[in-house]
């Protein structure tokens, strides 16, 4: 999904972990015009920029498509990242300039590696009456961020762990491994836990973790994480205790080794400095929006009839790391 904010802020991420459990409140972000989808963004924010290499967490729905218009995101660019699409309800059609054309449905994962540059579109299908899911980004490390773009789709098998059900869509957890490719050690999984139950989940001590609560009220190592909030656990834990209150919990567990290198995020680009972001934007505007070439950095999305999404205007100040 695109970051459709008209005036996207500069985001400089240092990836440095902090001790303890931290509860992050979402902020609502309207994507587009008057009938825009509204998403709840818990990452990045002032209190925390990254969890491992996870750098962007948008949570949306359940939205009645007849009222909101659903998801119609024209072709838009990405650099230096992977997008991870995960649904609870609905169906979304994906097309990208690597030639991929695929659907994403509940319990399936679409992972698109932008690398050096890609463009893609996302549209909820006519059969979708309610749309509900999460759009996640992973920052690529400097050594791999110019890799050629590619696309993967997988359907993780649910596994039982005590009273909980896990669906591991990125990385490895509890003996279940996702087949999709990652460039840093990561975990992404859906966890379903019945009301009143708890689980002691073995995790990698090197990882920091985030628990995004989609339904119910969760306790993360005894700290309440309300519905739509994200609970953060610093590295150093060999297990996480997750408990459900009086209602069942559905949550996404996101984690990984701290990235340990600064990144600059602006609109749909991830780079390392101001000049690089400016160059990405100029290439997008020239090659795609002005139609200079179909063979440039971002290629072309076959099967899309209509215009691509123009980039917002760059801010008046240089994008630079903040202390």
Q: Which pLDDT belongs to residue 298?
A: 98
Q: Which of 24-33, 214-223, 307-316 has the lowest mean pLDDT?
A: 24-33
> Do residues 154 and 180 make contact, with C-beta atoms less than 8 angstroms apart?
yes
User: Nearest Cα to 305, choosing from 95, 98, 99, 105?
Assistant: 95
- Whole-prediction pTM: 0.92
What distance in Å separates the CA atoms of residue 87 and residue 100, rounded to the nearest whole number? 19
Per-residue pLDDT band for 173 (boundaries 50, 70, 90) equals: very high
Structure-token pair, residue 76: 């838009």
ω into residue 44 within 30 of 0, thus cis?
Answer: yes
Average pLDDT over residues 109-116: 98
Per-residue pLDDT band for 35 (boundaries 50, 70, 90) equals: low
Per-residue pLDDT band for 6 (boundaries 50, 70, 90) equals: low
Per-residue pLDDT band for 68 (boundaries 50, 70, 90) equals: confident
Average pLDDT over residues 272-288: 97
Q: How many residues does the chain have?
A: 323
Average pLDDT over residues 145-156: 98
In sequence order, which residues have a C-beta less than 8 Å from that of residue 2 and are 6 or more positions away? 31, 73, 76, 268, 309
Torsion of the alpha carbons at 167, 171, 177 and 181, rounded to the nearest 10 = 120
Per-residue pLDDT band for 20 (boundaries 50, 70, 90) equals: confident
CA distances in angstroms from 78 to 137, 165, 271, 283, listed in the order given = 10, 33, 10, 12
Q: Which pLDDT belongs to residue 171?
A: 98
What distance in Å separates the CA atoms of residue 107 and residue 155, rounded to the nearest whole number? 6
Q: Which pLDDT belongs to residue 17?
A: 42
3-state SS assignment for residue 310: coil
Q: What percent of the chain has pLDDT over 70?
A: 91
Per-residue pLDDT band for 8 (boundaries 50, 70, 90) equals: low
3-state SS assignment for residue 284: helix
Q: Which pLDDT belongs to residue 312?
A: 95
> Do residues 241 and 269 make contact, with C-beta atoms less than 8 angstroms apart?
no
Q: What percent of the chain has pLDDT over 90?
A: 87
């Amino acid at each position: 999904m695109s970051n459709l904010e008209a005036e996207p802020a500069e985001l400089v991420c240092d990836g440095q972990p902090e001790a303890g459990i931290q509860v992050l409140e979402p902020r609502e972000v309207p994507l587009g015009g008057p009938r825009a989808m509204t998403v709840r963004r818990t990452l990045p924010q002032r209190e925390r920029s990254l969890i491992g290499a996870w750098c962007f967490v948008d949570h949306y729905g359940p939205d009645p498509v007849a009222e909101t218009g659903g998801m119609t995101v024209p072709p838009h660019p990405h650099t230096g990242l992977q997008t991870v699409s995960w649904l609870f309800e609905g169906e979304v059609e994906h097309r990208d300039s690597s030639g991929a054309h695929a659907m994403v449905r509940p319990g399936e994962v679409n992972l698109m590696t932008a690398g050096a540059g890609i463009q893609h579109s996302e549209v909820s299908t006519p059969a979708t009456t309610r749309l509900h899911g999460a759009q996640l980004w992973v920052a690529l490390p400097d050594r791999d961020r110019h890799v050629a773009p590619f696309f993967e789709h997988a359907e993780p098998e649910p596994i039982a762990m005590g009273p909980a059900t896990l669906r591991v869509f990125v990385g490895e957890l509890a003996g279940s491994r996702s087949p999709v490719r990652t460039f840093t050690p990561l975990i992404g999984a859906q966890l379903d836990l019945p009301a009143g139950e708890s689980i002691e989940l073995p995790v990698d001590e090197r990882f920091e973790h985030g628990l995004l609560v989609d339904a119910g009220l969760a306790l993360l190592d005894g700290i309440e994480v309300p519905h739509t909030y994200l609970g953060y656990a610093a590295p150093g834990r060999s297990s996480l205790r997750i408990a459900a209150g009086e209602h069942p919990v559905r949550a996404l567990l996101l984690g990984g080794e701290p990235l340990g290198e600064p990144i600059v995020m602006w609109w749909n680009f991830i780079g390392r400095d101001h000049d690089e972001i400016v160059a990405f934007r100029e290439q997008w505007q020239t090659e795609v929006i002005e139609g200079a070439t179909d063979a440039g950095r971002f290629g072309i999305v076959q099967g899309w009839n209509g215009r691509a999404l123009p980039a917002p205007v760059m801010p008046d100040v240089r994008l630079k790391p903040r202390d």
